[in-house]
Amino acid sequence: MAKVCIVGCGAMGSVYAGLMASAGHEVHAVTPWKEHVDAINANGLRVSGYSGERRVRLASASVDTAGIGPCDLVIIATKAFDVEAAAQAAAPLLKPDTVVQTIQNGVGSPERVARFIDPGQLAVGVVGGYGASLPEWGHVHHNGLAVTWFGAYAGLPRTALEASAEVWRSSGFDVALHDDVSSMVWKKVIMNVAYSGTAGLTELTIGQIIEHPEAWRIASGCAQEAVDVSRSLGVELGLPDPIAHVRALGGKIPGARPSMLLDLQAGRRCEVDAINGAIVRLGKEQGVPTPVNDVVVALIRAKESERLRP
């Protein structure tokens, strides 16, 4: 069994933690939410939804990495805007053969993590179709486990990548390894771009967005602009119809609410800059028009500023 630390154990990280601990791995959770830490330490971590109902005890849950010690696998599962702080906080968790997996929405996070962690120890992760949420502290619910993909960032040996993937497989995740990391990341990006901003504005579930003609027009427009930007960057998606792919994958988790919506509803900072905002930024750099994402980002920022106002 492996010693695992999940840095950024929010909704998604709690799914990872719960299933890995249930499989017998030594799992340590780090999250800035003290209420979540207290609930886990008092009653264990409850996981409900697609994988069934369970309550598991973690090796530890805390607000920092102090006292955990070196791990076999470190998973950085923070929001994109927190990855640099998380990478620095992970230093005491590393030994020469520790694999660090960084899993964020959008683009640009692995490059920022690699400023603080040896690129030869780093893997890039993409997950999708989970629909994870925290109904209450100490309880995570998820609607699926559709996509769990990993690839080496730069120099991570294949044997180490495989060993880290086996921790996930042994915990019930269906893992695929990819050699083309850019393609892997952008397949998820077009999904994020479609549903995140649209849900954040409309407060609809993914299924409702798909079924509502006007909401789908905005979601598919955002996704198409992301496809256009990816092509200008030379990314080969390998999808005959990327928009159909986005619709089909979203259809597997119709009741899910993207994290951008959940963050806005909770009055927390959201990841618009790393998702829809990244398409706007890269579109400008590449000379690719992104009018739908332009409007979505502007409106999300306005909504976020109101929700964050004291």
Contact (Cβ atoms closer than 8 angstroms) between residue 28 and residue 59: yes
Q: Which two tokens stand for residue 208?
A: 């409702």
**119 and 46 part of one domain:** yes
Reference 107, options 91, 124, 84; nearest CA is 124
User: Which residue range(s) make up the domain with 26?
Assistant: 3-179
pLDDT at residue 87 tops 70: yes
Q: Which two tokens stand for residue 165?
A: 């993937």
pLDDT of residue 310: 63
CATH at 288 = 1.10.1040.10
**25 and 167 part of one domain:** yes
**171 and 192 part of one domain:** no
d(CA 1, CA 107): 32
Question: Using one digit for the tens of pLDDT, what is the confidence trace for 288-301?
Answer: 999 999 999 999 99
Question: Using one digit for the tens of pLDDT, what is the confidence trace for 192-201?
Answer: 999 999 999 9
Contact (Cβ atoms closer than 8 angstroms) between residue 202 and residue 260: no
**61 and 89 part of one domain:** yes
**46 and 153 part of one domain:** yes
pLDDT of residue 217: 98
Provide the residue count of the chain: 310
Q: Which residues are paired to 148 by β-bridges? A: 127
Question: Using one digit for the tens of pLDDT, what is the confidence trace for 126-150?
Answer: 998 898 999 999 999 999 998 999 9
Average pLDDT over residues 25-39: 98
pLDDT at residue 120 tops 70: yes
Instruction: Name the region of 78 (left: φ>0; alpha: ψ -120 to 50; beta: rest).
Output: beta
**9 and 103 part of one domain:** yes
CATH at 157 = 3.40.50.720
pLDDT at residue 187 tops 70: yes
Contact (Cβ atoms closer than 8 angstroms) between residue 218 and residue 292: yes
pLDDT at residue 47 tops 80: yes
pLDDT of residue 282: 98
pLDDT of residue 146: 86
Q: How many CA atoms lie less than 13 Å away from 152 in the CB half-sphere? A: 15
pLDDT of residue 307: 81
Average pLDDT over residues 42-59: 97
**100 and 231 part of one domain:** no
d(CA 246, CA 280): 19
pLDDT at residue 121 tops 90: yes
**165 and 207 part of one domain:** no
- The last residue of a domain, from among 153, 179, 205: 179
Mean pLDDT of the chain: 96
**153 and 200 part of one domain:** no
**206 and 109 part of one domain:** no
Question: Using one digit for the tens of pLDDT, what is the confidence trace for 110-119?
Answer: 999 999 999 9
**76 and 43 part of one domain:** yes
d(CA 1, CA 278): 38
Question: Using one digit for the tens of pLDDT, what is the confidence trace for 159-172?
Answer: 999 999 999 999 99
**112 and 23 part of one domain:** yes
Instruction: Name the region of 25 (left: φ>0; alpha: ψ -120 to 50; beta: rest).
Output: beta
Reference 83, options 112, 107, 105; nearest CA is 112
- The last residue of a domain, from among 130, 153, 179: 179
Q: Which residues are paired to 61 by β-bridges? A: 29
Question: Using one digit for the tens of pLDDT, what is the confidence trace for 249-291?
Answer: 999 989 989 999 999 999 999 999 999 999 999 999 999 999 9
pLDDT of residue 309: 66
Q: Which helix (H) or strand (E) holds 255?
A: none
pLDDT of residue 306: 87
Looking at the 3D structure of the chain, how many domains does it have? 2
- The last residue of a domain, from among 179, 199, 234: 179
d(CA 270, CA 239): 29
d(CA 52, CA 138): 16
- Alpha carbon of 96 to those of 67, 72, 86, 277: distances in Å? 18, 10, 18, 36
